[in-house]
Structure 1
Amino acid sequence: METMRFRYIDLPISDRAAFELVCARHGFAPAHFDVSASAAPGEPAHERVVTVRRGDWSRSYRDRHGQWIRQFEADLTFRFFN
């Protein structure tokens, strides 16, 4: 089974807007991160895996209806990507 890959621009506009807001709140710009997503064929969109990279650091999150953004913000709060 082949995994489908998505770029940041392919994510829902609501996810992109929330991501940009979280970045701004923590002093970052979306361009500071490489965001991609992947999903197995037939898998619901909310079950995809979103991966955020910055430099040598990366973290993968299960989408779960936008929960990945809350988890990403928690990582920013704890300075995971600094």
Structure 2
Amino acid sequence: MDITLLRYTDLPIGDRAAFELVCARHGFAPVHFDISARLNPGEAPHERLVTVRRGGWTQSYPDQRGQWVKQFESDLTCRFFK
């Protein structure tokens, strides 16, 4: 079983744009975070697991067609990554 590891730049342009907008709204820039994604073989691209890291904090989100960005913003609102 080969798991595909993706970096931030491998994500769909729409996800990256939404992520950048969310970061800007909360006073961050994308470079403040380390983004990676895992895609299991045979799964659709929208079923990947996106992991966001900042400092000692890490959170993983199921992609669910871009919904991970909304979950990430919720964590920013709750100050999870501060």
- With normalisation by structure 1, the TM-score equals 0.98
**Which residue of 2 is the match for residue 51 of structure 1?**
51
Cα distance in 2, alignment partners of residues 10 and 42 from structure 1 = 18
Residues matched between the structures, number? 82
Name the Cα RMSD after superposition.
0.4
Percentage identity across aligned positions? 68
Unaligned runs of 5+ in 1: none
Divergent runs of 4+, >4 A: none
TM-score scaled by length of structure 2? 0.98
Query: Which amino acid in 2 is paired with 1:66?
Result: G
Which residue number in structure 2 is paired with residue 25 of structure 1?
A: 25
Deviations 1:18-52 (A, max 9, x none): 00000000000000000000010111001000000
Question: What CA distance in whole angstroms lies between the structure 1 residues aligned with 2:29 and 2:37?
Answer: 19
- Once the two structures are superposed, residues 50-81 of structure 1 have per-residue CA deviations (whole angstroms, 9 ceiling, x without a partner) of 00000000000000000100000000000000
Which range moves more in the overlay, 68-77 or 1-10?
Answer: 1-10
Give, in whole Å, the separation in 2 of the partners of 1:20 and 1:61. 17
Amino acid at match of 2:27: G
Letter of the 1:60 partner, please give it: S
Q: Which runs of 5+ in 2 are unaligned?
A: none
Determine whether 1:75 maps to 2:75. yes
How much has 1:3 moved relative to structure 2? 1.1
CA distance in 2, matches of 1:22, 1:42: 30
Quote the residue 1:63 is aligned against: 63
